[in-house]
């Protein structure tokens, strides 16, 4: 006979306890335990997904034939780039983002583009009815007969429909609304999310169907549910952006079939999302001319260089402890660079408030932006603007040296394409490559922060 056992599971990390706890010992969050009923013993139910179950046998790796499966490409080049060149058949992809950011709109547009290529697409909505999905489809101009819409939350019925229709592409919106009848906990709980994702993974791998699932996010910005969810899927994409701005950023944080540093930029329009093919122009189009504290840096986002403006505001503090605030860069990087400027260059910044911002809402985390931040701080402190046609690239060490960066050639080519005249970069990056000769651009190598300030910011 099967026995019913009560347990309490943390909805943030999946920690299990025999009794209710106010604070989770695993993730230290409060009031996250929910009671669930576990059935133990007795005859276990078979998995409901269909398909012939084959028992795998170990094979020599030298005897396995290497086969490159063709990827499914969409009409959005930005979306293809983030996935590493297109959608891999049989892959399970998780997309997370804030409510109302445009996840459903993006996936419905992708589904429409694939349906226009005569591929059967099944869009499963657990939060909206078919008529509500039709309203969004009319706004986006979706008119393909190969796109099927299903409003269902029972995973058994979803699996049966997938086996019946045999689509080439499946969208689950969202995983927190799907449930299995065998599990007594509510939809969205740790057990439901874990088991439903496991069954969807089996469906994707067995039938070779790429499945995209939408995941809700917590107030901290991470995907809700157990951390195991991100380990189970093949790729994790985050759809970021401010709700009051029109630009959206699709960033890959995990990808088994491509780079995890790629970034795609879209613009939200009335008729849907439109890809931005040249984001550098977007980030620099509103740059002020002749303003102090503004520099431009060429940052690598995956395989593509992006030119971004970094702004700094230095003002005398009115308190005992000066403030150090940063938006778009690491908060700890600002006081470190200010200490280097004070010790190695002689700028008295210990009684100054510092505010650093990356224009456009982009988040930069590579070391190559150190020199641009330092020059912005010095420019604002001296109230002396930099030249608008200059770009600063380099990593700053604690001794004030400028260290080499990667992919300097691609960065310089992007700067030359947008009409910049001078690139101040590490001296150790000058050899081993050829500067673009079709543009009148000057490459200046520097070895210290003080040398870069003498060239870029004059007194």
The last residue of a domain, from among 277, 311, 343: 277
Residues 370 and 425 both lie in one domain: yes
Residues 296 and 272 both lie in one domain: no
The range of the structural domain enclosing residue 225 comes to: 77-277
Residues 255 and 320 both lie in one domain: no
The last residue of a domain, from among 230, 253, 277: 277
Average pLDDT over residues 376-402: 94
Range with lowest mean pLDDT among 30-39, 146-155, 195-204: 30-39
Residues 204 and 350 both lie in one domain: no
Residues 147 and 193 both lie in one domain: yes
Residues 296 and 265 both lie in one domain: no
pLDDT in tens, 319-333: 888 999 999 999 999
Is 401 part of a structural domain of the chain? yes
Residues 201 and 333 both lie in one domain: no
Q: Which two structure tokens, joined as six digits, stand for 61?
A: 């790796």
The span from the CA of 364 to the CA of 76, in Å, is: 24
Going by the annotation, the residues of the binding site are 97-104
Residues 14 and 124 both lie in one domain: no
The last residue of a domain, from among 227, 253, 277: 277
Residues 389 and 315 both lie in one domain: yes
Going by the annotation, the residues of the binding site for ATP are 97-104
The span from the CA of 172 to the CA of 307, in Å, is: 35
For 256, 262, 299, 405, 431, the CA distances from 98, given in Å and listed in that order, are: 24, 20, 25, 34, 45
The total domain count for the chain is 3
Is 13 part of a structural domain of the chain? yes
Residues 265 and 294 both lie in one domain: no
User: Is residue 338's pLDDT more than 90?
Assistant: yes
Is 53 part of a structural domain of the chain? no
Average pLDDT over residues 208-220: 85
User: Is residue 50's pLDDT more than 50?
Assistant: no
Residues 272 and 298 both lie in one domain: no
Residues 254 and 300 both lie in one domain: no
Is 62 part of a structural domain of the chain? no
pLDDT band at 283 (very low <50, low <70, confident <90, very high): confident
Q: Which two structure tokens, joined as six digits, stand for 125?
A: 């909505």
pLDDT in tens, 112-143: 999 999 999 999 999 999 999 999 999 999 98
The span from the CA of 191 to the CA of 75, in Å, is: 37
CATH of the domain at 100: 3.40.50.300
């Amino acid at each position: 006979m099967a026995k019913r056992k009560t347990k309490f599971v943390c909805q943030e990390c999946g920690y299990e306890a025999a009794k209710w706890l106010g604070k989770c010992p695993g993730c230290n969050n409060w009031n996250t335990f929910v009671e669930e009923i576990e059935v133990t013993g007795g005859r276990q139910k078979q998995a409901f997904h269909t398909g012939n179950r084959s028992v795998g046998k170990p094979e020599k790796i030298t005897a396995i034939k290497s086969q490159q499966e063709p990827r499914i490409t969409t009409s959005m080049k930005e979306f293809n780039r983030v996935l590493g060149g297109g959608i891999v058949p049989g892959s399970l992809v998780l997309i997370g983002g804030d409510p109302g950011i445009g996840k459903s709109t993006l996936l419905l547009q992708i589904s429409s583009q694939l349906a226009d290529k005569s591929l059967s697409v099944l869009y499963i909505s657990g939060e909206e009815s078919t008529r509500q999905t039709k309203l969004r489809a009319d706004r986006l101009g979706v008119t393909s007969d190969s796109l099927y819409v299903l409003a269902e939350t029972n995973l058994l019925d979803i699996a049966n429909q997938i086996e019946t229709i045999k689509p080439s592409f499946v969208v689950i919106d969202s995983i927190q609304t799907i449930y299995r009848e065998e599990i007594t906990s509510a939809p969205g709980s740790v057990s439901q999310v874990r088991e439903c994702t496991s069954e969807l993974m089996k469906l994707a791998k067995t039938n070779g169907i790429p499945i995209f699932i939408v995941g809700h996010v917590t107030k901290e910005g991470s995907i809700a549910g157990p951390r195991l969810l991100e380990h189970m899927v093949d790729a994790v994409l985050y759809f970021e952006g401010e709700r009051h701005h029109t630009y959206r950023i699709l960033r890959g944080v995990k990808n088994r079939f491509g780079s995890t540093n790629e970034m795609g930029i879209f613009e939200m329009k009335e008729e849907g999302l439109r890809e931005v093919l040249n984001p550098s122009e977007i980030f620099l189009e509103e740059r002020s001319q002749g303003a102090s504290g503004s520099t431009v840096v060429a940052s690598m986002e995956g395989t593509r260089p992006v030119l971004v403006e970094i702004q700094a505001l230095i003002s005398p503090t009115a308190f005992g402890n000066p403030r150090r605030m940063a938006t778009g860069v690491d908060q700890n990087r600002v006081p470190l660079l200010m200490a280097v400027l004070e010790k190695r260059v002689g700028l008295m910044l210990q009684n100054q408030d510092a505010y650093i911002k990356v224009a456009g809402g982009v988040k930069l985390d590579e070391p190559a932006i150190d020199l641009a931040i330092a020059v912005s701080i010095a420019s604002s402190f001296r109230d002396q603007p930099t030249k608008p046609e200059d770009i600063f690239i380099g990593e700053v060490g604690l001794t004030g040296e400028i260290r080499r960066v990667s992919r300097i050639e691609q960065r310089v080519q992007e700067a030359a394409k947008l009409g910049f005249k001078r690139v101040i970069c590490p001296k150790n990056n000058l050899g081993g490559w050829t500067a673009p000769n079709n543009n009148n651009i000057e490459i200046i190598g520097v070895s210290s922060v003080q040398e870069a300030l003498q060239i870029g910011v004059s007194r």
